[in-house]
């Protein structure tokens, strides 16, 4: 069994060793730049961990793992354009450093390179691997479109939000695990259980992100606390507050949502106070913990020893320990 540190090093080594054509420079240089920005490499690590559950040879999963990471970063590069984001991991985004056109084209190449890597599996499982990858990729795009569409609506339901984050974030974790299991020779049943585990953990991870945006320690969270409140982003927190607020509380929430010239610190303080009044944090944690329970239930049903499953459970727990 490999440690998470070992797997992280394998992925980073594969990224460093990736070679792209020299020309056109403006097409390939942004890819190297973006991949060098770093990241947790969660998705390729999960793919390798799943393979490691069923096989002693994870080298056969390196290329697909790198493909998953390239695909993930392709979505981020295009998301940055859609969100007009100036910064990614502390550095200028590709469309800011080069142009929107360059970011679109470089992202397109990343998607194609991801497929070139994904097909480097045993021919006997290639059709099934591509089917999972295609379904996963479409799900991510569906989730992104739902997310953008929600911003145009005054209200959405909590279950609609859960489905959106399932597609936008969680299916890629599930897909990575399922593909890794298939490469490692796991049964169809085990591959399906790992997919469900990853999907539930992905939803829990995003719900925790919503909670930490309000209640997190900026030093440990790694992001500005209150950013979602300032942008009126439809998170689980806001959706539940809109659902439960009545009377003066509802008026107060609507006031801060509509006020365009609000003092940032004051808005975060007042909206957070409304969340506290309505016990929104507790409701979010209950929903988050339910998804964690469902994830661990799927993991428990895997037909491998507890010792083999322990690293995966530990990794999942580490994802959810970002402190508040």
Question: What is the pTM for the complete model shown?
Answer: 0.92
**Which regions of the chain are under pLDDT 70?**
218-224, 322-324
pLDDT of residue 101: 96
pLDDT of residue 189: 98
pLDDT of residue 227: 86
Q: Is 313 in contact with 200 (CB distance < 8 Å)? A: no
pLDDT of residue 98: 94
Cβ count near 279 (within 10 Å): 13
pLDDT of residue 317: 83
In the chain, the domains with their CATH numbers are: 178-324 (1.10.600.10)
Q: What are the tens digits of pLDDT across the range 136-164?
A: 999 999 999 999 999 899 899 999 999 99
Using CB atoms within 10 A of its CB, is residue 257 exposed (0-12), middle (13-18) or buried (19+)?
middle
pLDDT of residue 38: 87
Using CB atoms within 10 A of its CB, is residue 321 exposed (0-12), middle (13-18) or buried (19+)?
exposed
pLDDT of residue 49: 96
pLDDT of residue 315: 83
Query: Rounded CA gap, 174 and 165, in Å?
Result: 13
């Amino acid at each position: 069994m490999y440690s998470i540190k070992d797997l992280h090093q394998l992925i980073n080594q594969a990224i460093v060793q990736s070679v792209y054509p020299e020309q056109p420079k403006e097409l390939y240089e942004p890819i190297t730049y973006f991949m060098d920005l770093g990241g947790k490499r969660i998705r390729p690590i999960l793919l390798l961990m799943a393979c490691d559950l069923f096989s002693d040879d994870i080298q056969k999963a390196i290329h697909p793992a790198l493909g998953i990471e390239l695909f993930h970063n392709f979505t981020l590069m295009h998301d940055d354009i859609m969100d007009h984001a100036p910064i990614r991991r502390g550095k200028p985004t590709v469309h800011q450093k080069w142009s929107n056109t360059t970011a679109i084209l470089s992202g397109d190449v990343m998607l194609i390179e991801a497929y070139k890597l994904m097909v480097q599996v045993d021919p006997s499982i290639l059709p099934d691997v591509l089917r999972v990858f295609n379904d996963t990729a479409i799900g991510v795009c569906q989730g992104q479109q739902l997310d953008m569409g929600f911003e145009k609506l005054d209200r959405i339901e909590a279950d609609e939000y859960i489905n959106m984050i399932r597609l936008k974030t969680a299916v890629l974790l599930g897909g990575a695990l399922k593909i890794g299991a298939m490469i490692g020779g796991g049964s169809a049943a085990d591959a399906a259980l790992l997919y469900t585990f990853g999907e539930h953990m992905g939803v829990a991870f995003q719900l925790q992100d919503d909670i930490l945006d309000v209640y997190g320690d900026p030093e440990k969270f790694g992001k500005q606390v209150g950013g979602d409140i300032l942008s009126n982003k439809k998170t689980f927190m806001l959706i539940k507050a809109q659902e439960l607020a009545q009377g003066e509380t509802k008026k107060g929430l609507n006031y801060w949502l509509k006020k365009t010239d609000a003092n940032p610190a004051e808005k975060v303080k007042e909206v957070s106070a409304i969340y506290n009044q309505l016990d929104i944090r507790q409701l979010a944690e209950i929903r988050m913990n339910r998804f964690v329970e469902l994830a661990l239930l799927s993991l428990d049903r895997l037909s491998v020893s507890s010792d083999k499953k322990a690293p995966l459970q530990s990794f999942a727990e580490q994802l959810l320990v970002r402190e508040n």
